[in-house]
Structure 1
Amino acid sequence: MKIDVLSLFPDMFTGVFGSSILKQAQDRNAVSLNVVDFRQYADNKHDKVDDYPYGGGAGMVLRAQPIFDAVEDLRKRNNTKPRVILLCPQGERYSQQKAEELAEEEHLILLCGHYEGYDERVRKHLVTDEISIGDYVLTGGEVGAMVVVDSVTRLLPGVLGNAESAITDSFSTGLLEHPHYTRPAEFRGMKVPDILLSGHHKRIEEWRERESLRRTWLRRPDLLERQDLNERQKEWIREFERNG
């Protein structure tokens, strides 16, 4: 996969893209990450990318020309038809399902805005998706772009050491993930559940499914409204309700 990020502050990505799983993914050629300062596409001698809004108002607006030219250049260089994603508070709420959808693409271009916003012609005639990582406003789209890149990259084949990790993550199954434990079996009087030490794989899987359901019921009951629960899971929920 190829991911290009258009930002006025490319240095913000150095540590994130050069560390941990994202660095390993690039080393394995699972993904190519490229950050472009779209100021270099400005068509004026001062490299100005923003201007005052028509009709007046507070703040500055990013001009359409540098962004259009940057995206068109990246399309031409890569000979692709990328998904062009605008990071903005007005976009679709980001989800694991959206990450899984984007992970199927060959080429993504992420647009990081600043100031008051974008010229509306960017939104209407250039982008294919608008994404928000939450109901709050940041100083720019860079942090949102990092979230999207990280969540998409870890889903690509060969990126995670264990392919099952992404499948069982919270939200991938529609439920929150079950609790995890590691050595020692007892720490400061706190013990690992006996079932996890039993070696009985079928019972362990059932315990994990049950605890995943319990954690979702306790913390994110709204997620259960979208689940097609089987009879066993429904009985577990009735038991949770009885026991509080």
Structure 2
Amino acid sequence: MRIDIITVLPELLKSPFEASILKRAIEKGIVEVHMHNLRDYTDLSYNQIDDYQFGGGAGMVMMIEPIDKCIAALKEQRDYDEVIYMTPDGKTLNQKIANSMSLLENIIILCGHYKGVDQRVRDAYITKEISIGDYVLSGGELGAAVFCDTIIRLIPGVLNNETSALTDTFQDDLLAPPVYTRPAEYKGMKVPEILLSGNFPKIEKWREDKAYERTEKLRPDLIK
């Protein structure tokens, strides 16, 4: 997979890709992530990429021309499966979306800023709009990092144990069951005996039951 991220603040995005799973995925050559500074695509003084909105109102708006130039330059080099705009009024990211997006090969992610982008950008260039929750961030960079993490970890070869991702919370519309590790007893707190039994069919049944119980208690909306 190749991910091209269009941003006003590329420095804000670097650290998530320089550690842990995302770093290993890049080093293995499984995924490429490239940052593109939108200010490199404007001819205006002071590298201006935003302006006042027509009709008045508070907040600056990202202009269409620099975004058009950047997307056009990228599309000259390859075809893209999706051009994604990170925005609080997009479709809320969930595991099903992450699963499907992890199968793609080339993605552009546009990070919004200020009051957002000129609507003509959304109308003409964006193929999918994604939100990471019903709240507003200072820009789309943190949302883009979250989105990238959710999809990159699902690509075969990224995780050391590929079955781990298949048992994550939300993969089957259930929360994950409780998990334990050594020691089997600590200050009187014991690991459930079933997990120490070695009876794997019964262990799996226990996990399924606990996943359902947790979901019913904490997130009944998922079951409905």
Unmatched runs of 5 consecutive residues or more in structure 1? 226-244
Q: Cα deviations across residues 177-227 of structure 1 (Å, max 9, x unaligned)?
A: 1110000000111000000000000000000000000110010000001xx
Q: Cα deviations across residues 119-169 of structure 1 (Å, max 9, x unaligned)?
A: 000110100001111111111001100010000000001000111111110
Distance (Å, rounded) in 2 between the aligned partners of 1:71 and 1:82:
13
What does residue 140 of structure 1 align with? Answer: 139
Q: Which amino acid aligns with 2:181?
A: T
What does residue 204 of structure 2 align with? Answer: 205
Instruction: Tell me the CA shift for residue 44 of structure 1.
Output: 2.0
Q: Which amino acid aligns with 2:25?
A: A
Q: Which amino acid aligns with 1:11?
A: E
Supply the RMSD in Å over aligned alpha carbons. Answer: 0.8
Q: Which amino acid aligns with 2:167?
A: T
Q: Which amino acid aligns with 1:132?
A: S
What does residue 239 of structure 1 align with? Answer: none
CA contact (8 A) 1:7 1:142 kept: yes
Instruction: Tell me the CA shift for residue 89 of structure 1.
Output: 1.0
2:118 aligned with 1:129, yes or no? no
CA contact (8 A) 1:75 1:82 kept: no
Identity %: 46
**Higher RCO structure, 1 or 2 (CA under 8 Å, sep 6+):** 2
2:156 aligned with 1:157, yes or no? yes
Q: Which amino acid aligns with 1:31?
A: V
Equivalence map 1:36-115=2 (5 Å): 36-77=36-77, 79-115=78-114
Instruction: Tell me the CA shift for residue 71 of structure 1.
Output: 1.1
Distance (Å, rounded) in 1 between the aligned partners of 2:191 and 2:96:
32
Instruction: Tell me the CA shift for residue 113 of structure 1.
Output: 1.1
Aligned length: 224
Q: Cα deviations across residues 29-64 of structure 1 (Å, max 9, x unaligned)?
A: 110011111110012243110011111111110000
Unmatched runs of 5 consecutive residues or more in structure 2? none
Distance (Å, rounded) in 1 between the aligned partners of 2:69 and 2:98:
27
Instruction: Tell me the CA shift for residue 74 of structure 1.
Output: 1.1
